[in-house]
Structure 1
Amino acid sequence: MSREQKIAETFVELADTLVADFDVIDFLQQLTVRCRDIFAVTDVAVLLAYPGPQLYSPAPCDPSPTLAAVLDLALGSGPALDAYRTAAVVSPGNLASAPSAWREFTIQAREAGYTYASAVPLRLRHETIGSLLLLRATDSPLPADDLTMAQAFADAATIGLLHARTLEVADTVNEQLHTALHSRIAIEQAKGFLAAHRNTSLDDAFATMRNHARRNRLLLTAVARHIVDTGDLPLPSAASPRRHPADGVAND
């Protein structure tokens, strides 16, 4: 598949939120997977400010402890927080000359091997709901065209999330956002287990989980928890809750 085809597919996926069985965890995970696949970045993470004004990280693309440590500090300083607060793209260049206000984030990021860090806001008009953090471990910054496209993805994702929040399924979406951090942990554990068990990549393991959830109309988090608990994908009748707004995410 060409890069242009991947970009077109991504926009279609980001627009596909006006459905009764919308799964916000699946949506955020797929956004990070697509960004890492299309752009020349090492890692990607979504940081949300919901509920309340503080950022948290529901959907990193990699479950490594190293990235987790970087994201913990990104919540308090660095490009992701600045992009959220200013509702503007933040791409200052090499982390070796990053702003002094980013000191703790910069130290952790450089120790993890990252050389460049950029972020774009998740925004719609006057409302900003978070940011998209793009980490790079190369000798050059993210190309300007990629950063522009990343902002377009972030804008489309924000529109999708806000539209989903205003529909009949608003309570379900809000609850999923509220529990996204805990859901992410289960998903990353399941990805790692499935990848090791099937001798495949983390991205392929995630695709297997996601396709199984969609094919059987199950929440992605329900599939992940079943894998963690039993070691295998659930049968259609063995996992709950179903992907339906009335069911909510009480078990997540």
Structure 2
Amino acid sequence: MSTTDREIRIAHAVLDLTHRRADFDVLELLHDLTAQTVALMPVRCAGITVLDSEGTEAVYVTASDDLCLALEEDQSELNEGPCLDSARSQRPLPVLSLTGPPGSIRWPRFAPRARRAGVTAVAAVPLRLPQVPLGALNLLMAEPPYPGSRDLRLAQALADAASGALAFRHELAQKDQILGQLQTALDSRLVIEQAKGALSVRLDVSLDEAFQRLRAHARSRRHKLTELSAQVARGQVPAELLDPTP
């Protein structure tokens, strides 16, 4: 089985969308997604709309060109259109014609604007993280041949590739948060060890006894152990801790 030029371009596109630096620009990634979609599919242009934190309001993010930009903004303004439907339902929207009889058009306000801009059909695929809806990739067509079912599967694959990069970034953020918490715990532990040593020498007791005194004092007064330990490490030992009586 021979490999076609288009298959090679698809492989490069997926690689481009998934292999990013950890600190990549999210907007640049989404713009690249629209550009790759236009380069690989029979569409006039492509755009991306994302949902707000509540998952209800849709906001235009980026587009492959000014025509799509204007129509993405129209969808947000009119609160109707293919990208909004796909984003909210998190389901792919098959190719739908905008040139049928008025009563058959799914979006009575958006469709006339799209037709005036030269767009005759639309489709969309969802953009998502696991368990988290993000938005949708909007596909606008000016003339046949329109994308088939395999083309739409390709669009979904490209959207999923970009989503994968976003998911990896999300995991990194979570990992960084966890590492930050671990570092804070480590720093706190070092302060506690310093306080234990200082109190052990000051009272001539074991390190375990010194720690028990620190913890009992902090708990009885509802103080943070780390803050009390930092105070003791600086030589500011509360008088109660100097009492030889436990």
The two structures have a TM-score, normalised by structure 2, of 0.62
Give the match for residue 42 of structure 1. Answer: 44
Give the match for residue 74 of structure 1. Answer: 75
Residues 48-197 of structure 1 mapped to structure 2, 5 A cutoff: 48-53=50-55, 54-63=57-66, 66-75=67-76, 76-97=79-100, 100-168=105-173
Distance 2:175 2:127 in 1: 19
Distance 1:56 1:142 in 2: 25
- 1:17-67 CA-partner distances (Å, limit 9, x unpaired): 4x333111221111111110010110000111144432112210102xx43
Distance 1:115 1:100 in 2: 11
Cα RMSD between the aligned structures?
2.4
Larger radius of gyration: 2
Distance 1:78 1:50 in 2: 17
Shift of 1:163: 2.1
Distance 1:106 1:146 in 2: 23
- 1:163-198 CA-partner distances (Å, limit 9, x unpaired): 212314999xxxxxxxxxxxxxxxxxxxxxxxxxxx
- 1:106-133 CA-partner distances (Å, limit 9, x unpaired): 1111110001100000124432100000
Amino acid at match of 1:39: M
The two structures have a TM-score, normalised by structure 1, of 0.60
Residues 3, 38 of structure 1: 8 Å contact kept? yes
Give the match for residue 28 of structure 1. Answer: 30
Distance 2:145 2:36 in 1: 21
Residues 1:102 and 1:4: Cα distance change in structure 2 (over 3 Å)? same
More RCO (CA 8 Å, sep 6+): 1
Amino acid at match of 1:158: S
